[in-house]
Chain A
């Protein structure tokens, strides 16, 4: 991971927790959590591809966001000091939910993971024909160990709702000491065959995401793909924030 002492597994777990928290927060109102999203997390490693959420969220891959909100594995409480609005300082307790602990184990069965995602999302698209299409955020740190995933990824991107095709965004967490690359428009400059493969597997960024990425100061064009190589932590958060922004949620 560029510019960091923490392990990839720690950073990925932090980013996943933060992203779920941000997504829930967007749907949380004073009168409750609105189910604007369904969310699933598929983890893959030595034991194959499986639901990575715990407790009651482990019963099915996709869960409404209100269920995600209600079922973190734990809630951390942290104290902080804030301005009391009258020139003083008061202490306040802030709560942080945790759904994932860092995990790292051998094997990268990418084909199994993409197949599982495709199976879930094909059914979801059938059941939600008028919804914004699903976004798949795929985080990987290496070479697939169960065959080439390219055709499976092509197949996954073909599923659609009336609002468009599934978006597949790839976040490539590499151990190479190479310069980070965000949302490239072609393969030129990507460091190895795995990076190039993941680039080809990534959806072109739709217009509204191009706009959001530009607002965040990213250099992107209408040819950019949803691929990020060797990103540092801030870029990973950006990647998720951009990738999880539906067109109509205001």
Chain B
């Protein structure tokens, strides 16, 4: 089987300021990553971009992986040249989620890595088979654990249960879909019964922009940067012929 990008759409918190959108993603051949940069951060967009691009090249997220990314981030800034407020904000750190998806070596499973409150959803024939890391909308109310440019804030990555808590494997079939979404969309998908069907008929950026605008208006969707990656599971040609 193989993974195919079917939809990529993102709407900024303020639709007139797409330049302030702190959701970012990286789309590889068989590996995809989505990240939601926390607003109360110095430069979460750069941090989010750095970790999604790194995941696309190397999915082995662990202590050395994170330390390398932090070093790359810190090395890109001349601290002493910053104004006082940028120095202080830089020291508060930048924070972002990381949601990764790849096809497992057996070709029949997908592996999901989830740090923070971005959500992966496994869809079959229009129904939600599973979601990760949350299954209930209320779980979005807790303060999420995020990857940080502050090394000390990433200690959780070194805990023995890190992989167990942050990973899941789903067996997939041709025709399945995996949705990777940031928290506003994730909360809506888990809170509203009709949400998955509504999102299912979205096929363009414009459709998604309209959907987000309408759901914000009726207060079903939280006001935040909102992103969806829809990945279709296709059979290999040999499987399709069989």
Q: Is A162 an interface residue (CB 8 A)?
A: no
- B84 contacts across to A, CB distance below 8 A: 21, 72, 75, 95-97
Contact B42 A29 (CB under 8 A): yes
Task: Please report which residues of chain B, range 15-66, place their CB below 8 angstroms from some CB of chain A when the two chains form the complex.
Answer: 38-43, 45-46
Closest to B92 in A: A25
Q: Is B80 an interface residue (CB 8 A)?
A: yes
Q: Is B89 an interface residue (CB 8 A)?
A: yes
Select one of B74, B83, B85, B92 contacting A85, CB under 8 A: B74
Select one of A21, A93, A95, A249 contacting B83, CB under 8 A: A95
A95–B79 Cα distance when bound, in Å, is 11
Contact B43 A24 (CB under 8 A): no
- A96 contacts across to B, CB distance below 8 A: 84
- Known contacts A95-B84, A96-B84; A28/B71 CB under 8 A: no
Contact B88 A24 (CB under 8 A): yes
A69–B45 Cα distance when bound, in Å, is 22
Contact B87 A30 (CB under 8 A): no
Closest to B89 in A: A28
Contact A29 B74 (CB under 8 A): no
A84 → chain B closest CB, angstroms: 10
15 additional A-B pairs beyond A25-B88, A249-B40, beta carbons within 8 Å, are A24-B85, A25-B89, A25-B92, A26-B92, A28-B85, A28-B86, A29-B43, A29-B89, A33-B85, A75-B84, A85-B74, A93-B80, A95-B83, A250-B38, A250-B39
How many residues in B have their beta carbons less than 8 Å from beta carbons of A? 20
Contact A69 B43 (CB under 8 A): no
A29–B40 Cα distance when bound, in Å, is 8
Could you jot down 11 A-B contacts, CB within 8 Å? A21-B88, A25-B89, A26-B40, A28-B42, A29-B41, A30-B86, A85-B71, A96-B84, A97-B85, A249-B39, A250-B38
- In the A-B complex, the 3 residue pairs with the smallest Cβ-Cβ separation, listed nearest first, are A95-B84, A30-B43, A28-B89
A249–B39 Cα distance when bound, in Å, is 8
